[in-house]
Amino acid sequence: MADSIDTRFRHLRSHTPEHSNHPLAPDQQSVELEPIGLESAHVRVSRRSFLSGIGATGLLASAAPLSTAATVEEPAQEQTEAAGGSTITLRVNGKDYTLKNLDPRATLLDTLRERIHLTGTKKGCDHGQCGACTVHVNGRRVNSCLSFALMHEGDEITTIEGVGQPGNLHAMQAAFVEHDGYQCGYCTSGQIMSAVALLKEPIGPSDDDVKQAMSGNICRCGAYTNILAAVKQVRSRA
Amino acid sequence: METFNYVKAPNLEKALASANEAKFIAGGTTLVDLMKLHVETPKTLVDINLLPLDKIEKLPDGGLRIGAMVRNSDLAWNDEVKKSYPVLSEALLSGASPQLRNMATTGGNLLQRTRCMYFREPDAGTPGGYGCNKRTPGSGCAAMDGFNRIHAVLGTSDKCIATHPSDMCVAMAALEAVIHVEGPKGKRTIPFADFHKLPGDTPHIENALEPGDLITYVDLPKPVEGAKSTYLKLRDRASYEFALASAAVVARVEGGHIRYIRVALGGVGTKPWRSREAEAALMGKSATATTFKAAAEAALAKAKPHKDNAFKVELAKRCLVRSLKTATVTA
């Protein structure tokens, strides 16, 4: 069981030391989102940075103007007073991150992913309709796509990376593994962030209450039955 | 998204002073969404999340004062609201998702904007885009002859048929809430019925706020002694969906007769729809199915359906009848 959890949660790791020197390691999550262009031959290529590079050169440019801008305009350290941007400190998973030259348009979601490189939080619809971007702000679950990062100085932000780690899973993470509460896994971090939050919310005891409380998280694969089983298990043991 | 200046207001005075040409941002659930769609393009955003308007307090006259920054989830789960104004708690919990309710505020929900898909098109109201008189007065209304299944049947005009989307507002209309506003001209209060505007010839003007105004509180009058209240919402899914029709009812029945009644409808009106016609058909009458049916007919008598939304007329009637039944059941 422990081995299986370790393997299956490998994608939640921020680093995979055994592969860190391999340029094309499949699990490479040491993301380099400093300016990426196809002309920068020395840039370490991971699946994620490769896709981001394509986005920055125009394939996806019309679909995601903000994330493109965030990728391209990542400032050098010395440009602290560059025009327009603000410098703020965000507290995420108990750690302070000082972000220089932050575009006011940067959502909390994009900032977590593109600037702090915590890519466990996912971007689905980007309009507060799917729940993939769910994080906790001061202990309450919110859609990080509908909030600007500048609004969160002084807040205690928790992402899926802060909830538990391989070898030290939160009970809800372990329950999702045990009950197979996902198929493709894209919505999973948002589902788990919602499920962890609802443990402290005054919702009723029934299955219907759990379904209502989880209705802000859409699962396109339809793993709802297993998600419900996972949430019920943790609630019953809480 | 267009860029903007961001200002964090440390207190009410600073917020009001920075309000010129700016938009206030609280939860952001409507505003950020619409900024991404280029529907909202504020030059300056004034963040009001530090303002101390996040309390729910009993008023000396027995009413309840709700700060504009009180989050939807906190309001829905407040003990006093659950006990004395269940219609409001039920309406709030029927809206959006738990994440959105943790963000959305009382003041912001009063200003929630329509889900009309033509209004939400990035280039609506521009040459080459869909006509939208709400976006650009005089540009037309694409919904009028377009896909209008979700659109309004009450309070429409030949300029706009966009539905008001809020559930909270429907409950507040039935509760006769009073909105407190502070702005360049000082403080004032606006009765709920006067806050939202009918589209008429000016669908771009949605409420009674003037430039620089900030909503500070919403007051609920003292709960009506012996009254029951309920909110029923009908929609395409069981949760996380906007209303096709909804009804908020506050009723007191004595000896089988209706002695107090307030009715508001959602999902069918261009504003939160207080139905004085239904109330007139109910007041003093016996609480029977025949009375409820007559009230529902009265509420929808002036309904003007379009191509795809005629079903809403019957749906709203049945929704109201069912709510009246629930609210008038005596133990």
Would you say residue B289 lies in a domain? Answer: yes
Question: Tokens 């059941």 belong to which residue?
Answer: B329
Does pLDDT of A5 surpass 70?
A: no
B34: closest chain A residue by CA: A127
* B103 contacts A212? CB cut-off 8 A: no
For the residues B115-126, what does the mean pLDDT come to?
97
Nearest to residue A67, comparing CAs of A101, A118, A33? A33
A156 vs B100: CA distance, rounded Å: 18
How many separate domains does chain B show? 2
Range of the domain at B24: 5-47
* A148 contacts B1? CB cut-off 8 A: no
A72 neighbors A85 (Cβ within 8 angstroms): no
pLDDT at A22: 38
Would you say residue B319 lies in a domain? Answer: yes
Q: Quick one: pLDDT band at residue B19, thresholds 50, 70, 90? A: confident
% chain A with pLDDT above 90: 63
B320 vs B315: CA distance, rounded Å: 9
pLDDT at A30: 34
The pLDDT tens digits for A48-73 are: 554 544 444 434 333 333 433 333 33
Does pLDDT of B226 surpass 90?
A: yes
Picking from A127, A146, A217, the nearest residue to B103 by CB comes out as: A146
% chain B with pLDDT above 90: 98
**Separation in Å, CA of A25 to nearest CA in chain B:** 35
Does pLDDT of A4 surpass 60?
A: no
- For chain A, domains (ranges, CATH) are 76-163 (3.10.20.30), 171-237 (1.10.150.120)
**Separation in Å, CA of B97 to nearest CA in chain A:** 5
* B8 contacts A143? CB cut-off 8 A: no
pLDDT at B21: 81
Tell me the DSSP string of B177-213.
-EEEEEETTEEEEEEHHHHBPP-TT-TT--BS--TT-
Given the DSSP bridges, would you call strands B56-58 and B64-67 parallel, antiparallel or unpaired? antiparallel
**Chain Cα centroid distance, residue B19:** 24
The pLDDT tens digits for A73-86 are: 344 433 334 446 79
Interface A-B: count of C-beta contacts within 8 A? 85
Does pLDDT of B239 surpass 90?
A: yes
pLDDT at A46: 53
Pick the residue of B32, B37, B43 with the most A CBs within 10 A to test the interface with A by mutation.
B32
A83: closest chain B residue by CA: B5
Number of CB atoms found within 10 A of residue A203's CB: 18
For the residues B113-128, what does the mean pLDDT come to?
97
* A194 contacts B103? CB cut-off 8 A: no
Q: With contacts defined as CB-CB under 8 Å, which chain A residues touch B29?
A: 128, 143, 146
Does pLDDT of B257 surpass 90?
A: yes
**Separation in Å, CA of B51 to nearest CA in chain A:** 13
Residue ranges of chain B whose CB lies within 8 Å of a chain A CB = 1, 3-6, 8, 25, 27-29, 32-33, 36, 45, 47, 49, 73, 77, 96-100, 102-103, 238-240
Pick the residue of B101, B102, B105, B235 with the most A CBs within 10 A to test the interface with A by mutation.
B102
What token pair was written down for B222? 């003292």
Does pLDDT of B15 surpass 70?
A: yes
Does pLDDT of A104 surpass 70?
A: yes
% chain B with pLDDT above 70: 100
* B96 contacts A140? CB cut-off 8 A: no
Would you say residue B287 lies in a domain? Answer: yes
> What CATH number does the domain containing B22 carry?
3.30.43
Would you say residue B311 lies in a domain? Answer: yes
* B77 contacts A143? CB cut-off 8 A: no
> What CATH number does the domain containing B314 carry?
3.30.390.50
Does pLDDT of B272 surpass 50?
A: yes
B77: closest chain A residue by CA: A202
pLDDT at B176: 98
* B98 contacts A104? CB cut-off 8 A: no
**Separation in Å, CA of B41 to nearest CA in chain A:** 12
For the residues A7-14, what does the mean pLDDT come to?
45
Residue ranges of chain A whose CB lies within 8 Å of a chain B CB = 65-66, 84, 86, 103-105, 107, 126-128, 131, 134, 140-143, 145-148, 150-151, 194, 197-198, 201-202, 211-213, 215-217
Does pLDDT of B158 surpass 50?
A: yes
The pLDDT tens digits for A174-201 are: 999 999 999 999 999 999 999 999 999 9
B120: closest chain A residue by CA: A127
The pLDDT tens digits for A107-129 are: 999 999 999 999 999 999 999 99
Query: Bigger pLDDT: A6 or B175?
Result: B175
pLDDT at A31: 35
pTM of the model: 0.87
B224 vs B99: CA distance, rounded Å: 32
Sequence-separated (6 or more) residues with CB below 8 Å from residue B198: B155, B157, B270, B271
What token pair was written down for A216? 């802000």
* B103 contacts A143? CB cut-off 8 A: yes
Nearest to residue B223, comparing CAs of B36, B18, B68, B86? B86
The pLDDT tens digits for B207-224 are: 999 999 999 999 999 999
Picking from A65, A126, A128, the nearest residue to B100 by CB comes out as: A128
pLDDT at B331: 60
Q: What is the value of ipTM here, to two decimals?
A: 0.96
Q: Quick one: pLDDT band at residue A47, thresholds 50, 70, 90? A: low
Residues found in chain B: 331
pLDDT at B187: 98
Q: Which helix (H) or strand (E) holds A48?
A: helix A47-56
pLDDT at A85: 79
Nearest to residue A100, comparing CAs of A90, A86, A114, A111? A86
* A215 contacts B28? CB cut-off 8 A: no
Q: Which helix (H) or strand (E) holds A84?
A: none
pLDDT at A84: 60
* B103 contacts A216? CB cut-off 8 A: no
